Amino acid sequence: MINDPPLLKIRATQLRSPAGQVAAFAGLQTGYAVDAMGGRGALDFRIKPLWPLPQPLAGVALTCQCGPADNLALFAALGSARPGDILVAATDGFTGTAVTGDLLMGMARNLGVVGLVTDGLVRDLTGLVGVGLPVFCRGLTPNSPVRNGPGTVGMPVVLGGVTIESGDILLCDNDGVVVIPRAQAGEIIENLAAVRAAEASLEAKVKAGLGVPDFIQSILDSASCRYEG
């Protein structure tokens, strides 16, 4: 017979991306970060902000594995939260109940947490708007969860098709959420310079009247393109 797991497993020492690396992503569009990582890194497209953000949000992931219809681990994560954290609540994509509402998020705000990302649902929209923390989720339901566990805090989770570890940087805007792995953040920051330069160059050309970009025109004029009819 398999023994029941502990109610909660909590990583005692949480690794964190340095504040300087987090600051390097402040105000950055998620698309820039994705381009700096080779075109990947965004969570499932259904995980979106509950309301439009005035500017992108960057913070440090604090992960918890809640599982379906349960939020004990999310409550437990409050005990590990630090200012600048974004709570990451993995529910295995469960949509039968919410994983949190306005009161828990109010507690998180009081601890300096700057947002929530979940692959599940939330509740209490009016109250959440009043709390003011950006919430990224799959939608809303009035149904409430229980606090039975088991769950984990600070352990790796898979959410929206991407593995997230505590200490990773999350970049969030109205397009969605991008995960910047802590171990690769320095390299990604270096890549951003080239991404910004390329974007600025192409944007200037578009404003100047560009219709067909050179890299497409070269294909259209080459033997790789055959015209028929």
Give the tens place of pLDDT for each residue, 179-205: 999 999 999 999 999 999 998 988 899
227 occurs within a structural domain: no
What confidence score (pLDDT) does residue 112 get?
A: 98
Q: What tokens does 14 get?
A: 């949480």
Q: Is the pLDDT of residue 69 over 90?
A: yes
Give a yes or no: residue 221 inside a domain: no
Alpha-carbon distances of 159 from 57, 81, 119, 218, 220, rounded to whole Å: 18, 19, 6, 40, 41
Q: In the chain, pLDDT over 90 holds for what percent of residues?
A: 89
pTM for the model stands at: 0.93
| Bridge partners of residue 50, in order along the sequence | none
In SS3 terms, the chain reads as CCCCCCCEEECCCCCCCCHHHHHCCCCCCHHHHHHHCCCCCECCCCCEECCCCCCCEEEEEEEEECCCCECHHHHHHCCCCCCCEEEEEECCCCCCCECCCHHHHHHHHHCCCCEEEECCEECCHHHHHHHCCCEEECEECCCCCECCCCEEECCCEEECCEEECCCCEEEEECCEEEEECHHHHHHHHHHHHHHHHHHHHHHHHHHCCCCCCHHHHHHHCCCCCCCCC
Asked if residue 207 belongs to a domain, the reply is no
State yes or no: pLDDT of 1 exceeds 80.
no
5 pLDDT higher than 90: no
- Our CA angle for 17, 21, 25, nearest 5°, is 120
Please report whether residue 173 resides in a domain: yes
User: What's the whole-number average pLDDT of the chain?
Assistant: 95
What is the pLDDT, as a whole number, of residue 4? 85
For residue 47, pLDDT beyond 80: yes
Identify whether 228 is part of a domain. no
Task: Look at 5 and 175; give whichever has higher pLDDT.
Answer: 175
- What pLDDT, on a 0 to 100 scale, did the predictor assign at position 125? 98
Q: Is position 93 within any domain? A: yes
Which of 49-53, 103-107, 200-204 is least confident? 200-204
- How many domains does the structure of the chain reveal? 1
Instruction: State residue 129's pLDDT score.
Output: 97
Least confident range of 68-82, 134-148, 212-226: 212-226
Q: Which of 113, 73, 76 is nearest to 92 (CA)?
A: 73
Note whether residue 31 is domain-resident.
yes
CATH (domain of 90): 3.50.30.40
pLDDT in tens, 117-164: 999 999 999 999 999 999 999 999 999 999 999 999 999 999 999 999
Whether the pLDDT of residue 72 is over 80: the answer is yes
Q: How far is CA 46 from the centre of its chain?
A: 12
Full domain range(s) for residue 85: 8-183
Asked if residue 14 belongs to a domain, the reply is yes
The confidence score (pLDDT) of residue 15 equals 87
CB 80 within 8 A of CB 113: no
pLDDT at 229 over 90: no
Q: How far apart are the first and last CA of the chain?
A: 71
